[in-house]
Amino acid sequence: MAGIYVHVPFCRQKCRYCDFASFPDKIGLAESYMACVYREMAMRGEELGGKTFDTLYIGGGTPSVVDPQYIAMLVAAAKKHFRLKDGAEITIEINPGTISASKIDLYKRVGINRFSVGLQTANDALLADLGRIHTLREFITCAKLLKGTNFSVDIMIGLKGQSFEDISQSIEVAALYGASHVSMYALTPEDGTPIYTDYLNGELPDGDEVAAQYDFGVRKLAELGYARYEVSNFCKKGRESRHNLNYWRRGEYIGFGVSASSHINNVRFTNTFDLDEYFKCIISNRFAVVDRQEITPPEQRDEFVMLAMRTAEGVDTAEFERLFGLSFAAEYASAIEKNADRLDICDGHVAIKPQYLFVQNHIIVDFLKN
Ligand code: SF4
């Protein structure tokens, strides 16, 4: 499998926890930026013309904040420069505060068939504290417009003053309005963001509290029919994100736009985070890559195991053997023995038991060799 990612780095305002490449004060540059993305696609298309891609993911930032015609042209550019499989999964991230019926209509008409909606929480006071631009009411309007489509909802835990009841309501609202998929993430207070001050002041829940919230959320999601297939991702039957599954299976992907990462032919590379630099590079027909790393075979094995262990299905040992010519059981005998009571080993898969998935890093570290 292979995927295409496009980063649209504009938002209406910066959320208090955000450290993504997003530039609320530069939204006036959206048209020029998108023109650069189309050009970057044309440049890459020449070298990757032979590959077939299964997914296109338009993320950000807030892709739904820009003129939807730019998104239509983006999908057209992707189809023009790359071989996108029939039935490809095409996802767009949308913010409930930026959506209208006509935008959603246009997205659907150009072939977008999956939506990822940032709810974060159903509690308006918590939304305001996060600096989100939308309310619960706007989420409900947005979800009604998406009725019958394949859409995912993002929910956060670990928020200041967040109760179990808040988490329960957020999940219930997502389920009630027909989400086929839920991503549940713990807030990470990144240094340099306003919310980091809350963290330093001891205002955020500690690790044990967040772990309890996570377990509570997992149970609630299961009750409502969402099965966990990755540590933070839950879905109704057959509604896994194919784009993200490709990441966890160490598939190839090509990224476009500022800060976008790629993984092609065992090389990982990342575009600049600097918007001006991105413009300068693309306008002068140069790629905007600032970091490039060839992944050695031992590193490839580490990556494969680390990523697969995040998923409920775990490591497919036959696939490991096919890719690397090594027996998984022999190669990782001591790590398997050490963690025997925390692993499920059956049907050719080695997976972390569900109750240990949230603390997977303590287990995965035993499997890393480089
Ligand atoms: S909407 Fe997303 S990308 Fe934009 S500021 Fe908020 S968290 Fe960051």
Confidence of residue 359 (pLDDT cuts 50, 70, 90): confident
Q: Roughly what angle, to the nearest 10 degrees, separates helices 30-48 and 68-81?
A: 10
For the entire predicted model, the pTM comes to 0.96
Q: Are 91 and 115 in contact (CB under 8 A)?
A: yes
CA of 13 to the centre of ligand 1 (A): 8
CB atoms within 10 A of CB 89: 21
Q: What is the mean pLDDT of residues 1-15?
A: 97
Q: 79 CB under 6 A from ligand 1?
A: no
Q: What is the DSSP letter of 342?
A: G
Beta 349-352 vs 343-346: how paired, if at all?
antiparallel
Among 154-168, 192-206, 312-326, 356-370, where is mean pLDDT lowest? 356-370
pLDDT at 350: 96
- Which residue owns the Cα nearest ligand 1 atom 2? 61
Q: Are 180 and 150 in contact (CB under 8 A)?
A: yes
Q: 245 CB under 6 A from ligand 1?
A: no
pLDDT at 50: 84
Domains of the chain in start order, with CATH, are 2-246 (3.20.20.70), 298-367 (1.10.10.920)
Q: 60 CB under 6 A from ligand 1?
A: yes
Q: What is the pLDDT of residues 253-310, one digit of tens each?
A: 999 999 999 999 999 999 999 999 999 999 999 999 999 999 999 999 999 999 999 9
**Residue of 258, 263, 184, 251 lying closest to 224 (CA atoms):** 184
Q: What is the mean pLDDT of residues 57-83?
A: 97
CA of 284 to the centre of ligand 1 (A): 29
Among 62-66, 123-127, 258-262, 364-368, where is mean pLDDT lowest? 364-368
Q: What is the DSSP letter of 311?
A: B
Q: 133 CB under 6 A from ligand 1?
A: no
Task: Identify the bridge partners of residue 343 per DSSP, sorted by sequence position.
Answer: 352
Confidence of residue 360 (pLDDT cuts 50, 70, 90): confident
CA of 194 to the centre of ligand 1 (A): 13
Q: What is the pLDDT of residues 182-226, one digit of tens each?
A: 999 999 999 999 999 999 999 999 999 999 999 999 999 999 999
DSSP 345-361: EETTEEEE-GGGGGGHH
